Structure 1
Amino acid sequence: MLDIKHILQQITALSEVPDPSVLKRLIDELRVSDKNPALANKNIQTLIDILQQHPEYGDGLSSFVLKLIIQYRQIALYTDTGIMSDEGFFSSLRRLIGHRFLPLLPQDDSVVELVGYLFDKRQDEHWLASIDKDKWDTLVELLKVEEEHLDLVATAKNNILNAIVILSYRVSGIGLHPDLMEAYPQILNYSASFVAQNQEAVLFVNQYRQAHELDNLTDITPEQAVSSAPLLVMLEQCEDIVATVRKRIYKTGISIRLTNMMLRLDQSLQRIRILTKLVSVDGLKRDRAIIELIQTLVITANRRYSIGYLIDNSTKLLSRKVTENASRVGEHYISTDRAGYRKMFRKASIGGFVIAFMATTKILAYQLAIAPMGRAFVNSMIYGLGFVFIHIIRGTVATKQPAMTAAAIASTISDGSGKKSHQLTKLSELVVDILRTQFIAIMGNIMMAIPVALLVSYMWLHFSGVPMINTDKAGHLLHELNPFTSLALPHAAIAGVYLFLSGLIAGYYDNLAVYNQIGARIHRHRLLKSLLPHAWLQRLGVFIEANLGAIMGNFIFGVFLGSTATVGFLFGLPIDIRHIAFASANLAHGLFNLSSSQMSWPLILVSILGVALIGMVNLMVSFSLALFVALRSKEVRFFEWSRLLKLILSHVVSHPSDFIWPRDKPMKYARIDSQGRMIFEDNSAQKTGKPLPRDYVIRRLSDVKILPKSKQTGTAETDIYYANQPPGDDISVGQAAHITLSTPSPKKVVDLDDGLIDEELNSVPYTDDIQYDKNTKTLETNNDGQNSSLSSNISPDTKAAGDAKTPLPKPKKPPKLPN
């Protein structure tokens, strides 16, 4: 405590000539080396106690920090820090790799470099995040600036206001970008919002400067505060439009560039909100904005040269791209009721029937005397074409995790699906349904593959008189299934990774088919038009666009499986694959063709155990990776995994049968139906009268049931319920359709709908709803006067947008930081 007090005395004495090294000493004293939140909070509490005992230290520290920061270039801090760059991934990667060999020159006048010098430890962001929110609030409240230092505040506010204008222009540019208009042409009807927010931003900035007399480098408190409500209204309009585009862009697909653009648009809108709070007269909002900006700045300073952070951000964009555009048609691997459960078993049985012949063909292909690359090609074609054939005949392969699963998971934890605790509850129930569906898919595969493989071996022996494979080959097949003496389980994990990758590939090609309008382009293909009748060409285009993702995902998955062993052989690596469906067929062939002297019950039981463990590893690896990508695409923080695991384990203990047999009362989710298909709201498609694709589901998301108000009194309910729940039924803990919390009832029920419906989007042009008065530059509305009331306090005598010129004082050259 004495060290902190001594440092604060030095800071107060040097407030006129701030030295960064003194501030760094204070931060080093407060820093905790481990992730002990108690120690971090204890140190901050010590600082708070000293500032409360000596208020002059708070003024000295605040003026010290302000004078130090003002010497640096600040606008880039507000406009760029923590916001996605429009620089490409590979150019950024080249720059950071080059930094490893020849360090980049630091930007000595950048606040980010100053923060990087002050917070130079990797654990700093975790240390700051572990500090309690109330302690942050108390600390910022104590750092008040006295009147003699208001010129510092005015200079800082001028930079913040300039940043608001810059970000506002960027939002207008992105919102009216040709790529966004091409992806969602209806946005042209809403272009007024992006223009209006810029006009409101400029108007707010000029009025604020005039009212607070910032041009005179002072910061007076005006009698009537400048209202930011009109600007916030327009920001909310822009956010609603972005949310609508994001939810409905599945019609046209989405590219990495467009995903990046929409993310920058979201971040820029949020940053304008934060900066508006920074200049707010509301002390609580201002203090919270300061805390959020500090944490963002520390994270950015620590990660600005990190290759891992670049890859992390870019893969997050890729996962967003895959989960943003869910497949409308294709393989669906989630069933929530008995009808879907039986359907999945039938589809898996079809897949198991074909897989038995695929496994047989692969065994026979090993008798061919061909080069390793030729063997890889043959195996890849057996797997790839076989999987595609299974899809075409409407079968399914067990443990396969397509993009549909990730999309359903992502929609369950989407921003509009309730509070985080409710989302995790729904997600845990969805995991139960997914695991049960995978279980019945596995059973359908092996219950058909084993008897068909036995029948093939028997028929081969019956008609040819010799076994299909010799006893050595049969023993080798069984040895490959032994989980104790072979690498069966690591090889099963490799297959699980391939299963996951095939799902991403399917999502990518589904998106590609829609984004590039593959079906319409096939209709216009000159050669195909000359070869095929018009009706056939139409059906071909519809089929390719609807199934391109599933076809490519299955084929490339087969190539992965067929070439892995050859790649391992060429590079001397002990890698191969094990998949439960093929393992079960190999089990049948091995046991049938094994000699009686080699047959024993321990061998049979160990082989069956190996098949079961291979299936478990396949399922857990592929599903865990799909779940990770889906959660990561929605930025669910890592510590919530433990909460999710506890919910799933509690369900295992209370109702283990739910993982094997469908529930009597199936769950309903925001974005999937009982067959696992995604639900989209598209009223305009219903109006046109055109026939929709067979598996295309149109349903209002608000169909998800919400309890009556009479049952919500005094409790907060999640937004997940059993369908056809009888009144008055008591539901046990494991089967609870909703969770009752001991908190007051919320004022509004979470709405699972889009928010903007098609009638509102397509009927009236946006300029008829929101207009600008040319004289007052204020916001008007033709609906109910709601927005006009927000702008009623704006005087008609205010400066027109763009009239004010605010010459900012040229900052002094900042002190050079130590290397």
Structure 2
Amino acid sequence: MAAASRDLQGLLAGLDPTADVAQRHIWLINLFDWLRGDRASPQAAIGRVQLLLDAVEARPELCERLRAWWRAFTQSVDLTALLADYGFAPRTAFLSEFGERMRRKILPGTPETTDASDLFRLVLPGVFDAGWIALLDDTQLARIGALLADAAPMPDGSARWRHTVMDAVTYCCSQVVATGFSPELRLRISPEAGEARPFHALMADLDALREQMFALPRDEESLQAAFVAFRDRLDACRSSASSVYTHLEDNGISVGLVFRLRQLRERVLRIRELLDCLMSPVPGPSMARLVGKLVLAGGERNSIRALIASNSSMLAAKVTERSAETGEHYITRDRRSYLQMVKKAAGGGAFTALTVLAKFGIYALALSAFWSGLAAGLMYAASFVAIQLLHLTLATKQPAMTAPAMAARLRDIKSDDAVDQFVDEVANLVRSQVAAVLGNVLLVVPAVGLLVLGWQAALGRPLLDAAHAASTLHSLSLLGPTVLFAAITGILLFSSSIIAGWTENAFVLHRLDSAMRYNPRIGAFLGAARARRWAAFMRTHISGFASNISLGLMLGLLPAFAGFFGLGLDVRHVTLSAGQIAAAAASMGLPALHQPALWWAVAAIPVIGALNVSVSFYFAFRLALRAHSVSLGDRARIRSAIWARWRSRPVSFFLPT
């Protein structure tokens, strides 16, 4: 923008009420750009506002020209829609709103518009504007109101802006009532709130308020009574909608429904802000606060991050809560449970030996990258599900499940005793992970070795020839990209826990266990008793199935998809990697002990295990902390307590006491 356009005198000279819509709006954009200046400070913007007011008030013809411009502006632009709808999603579905925000970020806006919301976004685009608007004092607000005052009031003697604001209240109330009457909300409202029927009477109370607002002569006592009745009814609507959250906590979270509820809550708050402007004897400060909040709402409205954060918090809480229910089973707190964990992990390691052989068998088929990855993924999924059904343990799947169980204990962490108890749980968790990893690795290695030797004895040739064995050891070497691949695998482990929590939430939300139990067709096909057993079985195992199947497919398909884009990424799972090293070493025989590649691969195993566990636990724990709103101060206290325990009793992190 040219420097001359920022000059106040040049701006005022360009004020033309008869200009077309685009030119009038460009002038308004330039004016606010001049008010912001270099955005060094809000106080500087306030100083420019003072200069503008002084310059306009000093010239009566300029005052009249400004009022004429304002009349032309308000006649061509619908301010009611701005006051009622700005900052709200035009669609109630989460995905459609996501697409709308993406469109606004990508496509530029135009000042040639009669949509006040689009124009407002161009005139007041940032948080800085909300800052300097909040600093306007009562005198400046009164002067602005006098400059923009309409000399021709409405037939009832009231100012036109009051009718505009009341129309905005009406639009907002209609949206609140429509949301309250929607089947998704109506069927989930508590019985007590449903019997009160607040949404049914809201519009009638609004009509009574409007009648008293513009009555001639005005009866202040009747107006206040109508205002109180409407405000109480509005609060009842909000309380009624809030009762839906209890239903969601017990029956699963719907992101779309949470989005509707939060839109309704924000509508109620907007109605209150509009009513403050109408009921205040000095409306200027209320108007300024409203404009400032509209600026902030516009920033939120354009933010994809804010959309995802605000609408995923409850789902994150529910996902982590359901993972916490599963994760409790993976934490050992005494010697007996510790030994049980070792036994289950040993069984899981022994079973994984079969998985390792199956993986080499799939590679021997020499399929294309995609089909080889899909076959490996399905094989992994079947293997992990079998481990689940046999009640064995795969170590690296634990952290993403146990992290929410840990974070669930942070809901009340204010006292020192609570922090100490949490540190005890951290020690229990680390000890459990060590036991599980050791149990897996120490059994998968000899089990794979025995299977390879049995293969060689039966067929007279090793499982892997020398070239493939050497290639396997080289690919798993600590000197290569193993560290990166192990961290990526940790992310996949975390992702599988999210999929598991989301799947179980959807299973509960859509009442699929009830459908399996009582659906007539399912009952006729399975029989009533078997349908009940299947429903209970799926309710118990659905999370594990989702986690295991998704993890298996991701482990198999990630290398294929990465290879398609030329990224060369792979996965490194500690138990599978240990089994592959054992298979390569057993195929090479005793000479493998003299190969440096073997020992570099062996050295990678603890690193792979540590990264698998720590990365998946880190992301899951961060998500759980966010879901439970643990403050930064409490997080610092927890870190200090954990380090203190490590310095004083390090053995407690590895062996039960």
**Which category of TM-score, normalised to the shorter sequence, fits these structures?**
0.7 to 0.9
Matched, 1:288 2:289: yes
Match of 1:361 among 334, 351, 355: 355
2:592 match: 595
Q: Which amino acid aligns with 1:275?
A: L
Alpha-carbon distance in 2 for matches of 1:282, 1:342: 73
Structure showing the higher helix proportion among its residues = 2
TM-score under structure 2 length normalisation: 0.75
Q: Which amino acid aligns with 2:241?
A: V
Could you say if the C-alpha distance between residues 341 and 471 of structure 1 is closer, same or farther in structure 2, counting changes exceeding 3 Å? farther
Matches within 5 A, 1:115-264: 115-119=120-124, 124-128=125-129, 131=131, 136-139=134-137, 142-145=140-143, 150-151=149-150, 154-184=159-189, 186=191, 189-210=194-215, 226=224, 228-264=227-263
Could you say if the C-alpha distance between residues 328 and 95 of structure 1 is closer, same or farther in structure 2, counting changes exceeding 3 Å? closer
Conservation of the 8 A alpha-carbon contact between 1:4 and 1:47: no
Could you say if the C-alpha distance between residues 533 and 468 of structure 1 is closer, same or farther in structure 2, counting changes exceeding 3 Å? same
Could you say if the C-alpha distance between residues 66 and 656 of structure 1 is closer, same or farther in structure 2, counting changes exceeding 3 Å? farther
2:383 match: 386
Could you say if the C-alpha distance between residues 600 and 254 of structure 1 is closer, same or farther in structure 2, counting changes exceeding 3 Å? closer
Conservation of the 8 A alpha-carbon contact between 1:82 and 1:296: yes
Residues 559-568 or 84-93, more deviating? 84-93
Q: Tell me by how many angstroms 1:329 deviates.
A: 8.0
Alpha-carbon distance in 1 for matches of 2:67, 2:330: 61
Q: Which amino acid aligns with 1:295?
A: L
Conservation of the 8 A alpha-carbon contact between 1:454 and 1:588: yes
Could you say if the C-alpha distance between residues 6 and 348 of structure 1 is closer, same or farther in structure 2, counting changes exceeding 3 Å? farther
Q: Secondary structure at the match of 2:571?
A: coil
Matches within 5 A, 1:490-509: 490-509=484-503
Which runs of 5 or more residues in structure 1 are unaligned? 214-220, 304-308, 664-819
Conservation of the 8 A alpha-carbon contact between 1:403 and 1:503: yes
2:91 match: 86
Q: Tell me by how many angstroms 1:226 deviates.
A: 3.0
Q: Secondary structure at the match of 2:224?
A: coil
Could you say if the C-alpha distance between residues 281 and 396 of structure 1 is closer, same or farther in structure 2, counting changes exceeding 3 Å? farther
2:615 match: 618
Could you say if the C-alpha distance between residues 409 and 240 of structure 1 is closer, same or farther in structure 2, counting changes exceeding 3 Å? farther
Alpha-carbon distance in 2 for matches of 1:93, 1:469: 51
Conservation of the 8 A alpha-carbon contact between 2:559 and 2:571: yes
Alpha-carbon distance in 2 for matches of 1:325, 1:362: 31
Largest Rg, 1 or 2: 2
Conservation of the 8 A alpha-carbon contact between 1:81 and 1:297: yes
Matched, 1:279 2:273: no
Conservation of the 8 A alpha-carbon contact between 1:409 and 1:427: no
Conservation of the 8 A alpha-carbon contact between 2:150 and 2:160: yes
Alpha-carbon distance in 1 for matches of 2:612, 2:222: 69
Alpha-carbon distance in 2 for matches of 1:276, 1:662: 61
Residues 98-107 or 354-363, more deviating? 98-107
Could you say if the C-alpha distance between residues 253 and 298 of structure 1 is closer, same or farther in structure 2, counting changes exceeding 3 Å? closer
Alpha-carbon distance in 1 for matches of 2:637, 2:57: 51
Matched, 1:110 2:115: yes
Conservation of the 8 A alpha-carbon contact between 2:101 and 2:304: no
Conservation of the 8 A alpha-carbon contact between 1:383 and 1:559: yes
2:154 match: none
Could you say if the C-alpha distance between residues 408 and 237 of structure 1 is closer, same or farther in structure 2, counting changes exceeding 3 Å? farther
Matches within 5 A, 1:772-787: none
Conservation of the 8 A alpha-carbon contact between 1:587 and 1:607: no
Could you say if the C-alpha distance between residues 186 and 587 of structure 1 is closer, same or farther in structure 2, counting changes exceeding 3 Å? farther
Q: How many residues align?
A: 621
Matched, 1:7 2:20: no
Q: Secondary structure at the match of 2:214?
A: helix
Q: Tell me by how many angstroms 1:140 deviates.
A: 6.5
Alpha-carbon distance in 2 for matches of 1:325, 1:250: 11
Alpha-carbon distance in 2 for matches of 1:367, 1:137: 73
Residues 196-205 or 72-81, more deviating? 196-205
Q: Secondary structure at the match of 1:144?
A: helix
Alpha-carbon distance in 1 for matches of 2:287, 2:271: 13
Alpha-carbon distance in 2 for matches of 1:443, 1:256: 37
Q: Tell me by how many angstroms 1:452 deviates.
A: 0.5
Matches within 5 A, 1:724-735: none
Question: Aligned-pair RMSD on alpha carbons?
Answer: 5.2
Q: Which amino acid aligns with 1:136?
A: A
Alpha-carbon distance in 2 for matches of 1:21, 1:493: 52
Q: Which amino acid aligns with 2:142?
A: K
Q: Tell me by how many angstroms 1:506 deviates.
A: 1.8
Q: Tell me by how many angstroms 1:574 deviates.
A: 0.7
1:453 match: 444
- Show CA shifts across 1:245-272 (max 9, x none): 1133243334454333223222222221
Conservation of the 8 A alpha-carbon contact between 2:251 and 2:509: yes
Q: Which amino acid aligns with 1:273?
A: R
Could you say if the C-alpha distance between residues 193 and 162 of structure 1 is closer, same or farther in structure 2, counting changes exceeding 3 Å? same
**Percent pairwise identity:** 16
Alpha-carbon distance in 2 for matches of 1:501, 1:388: 17
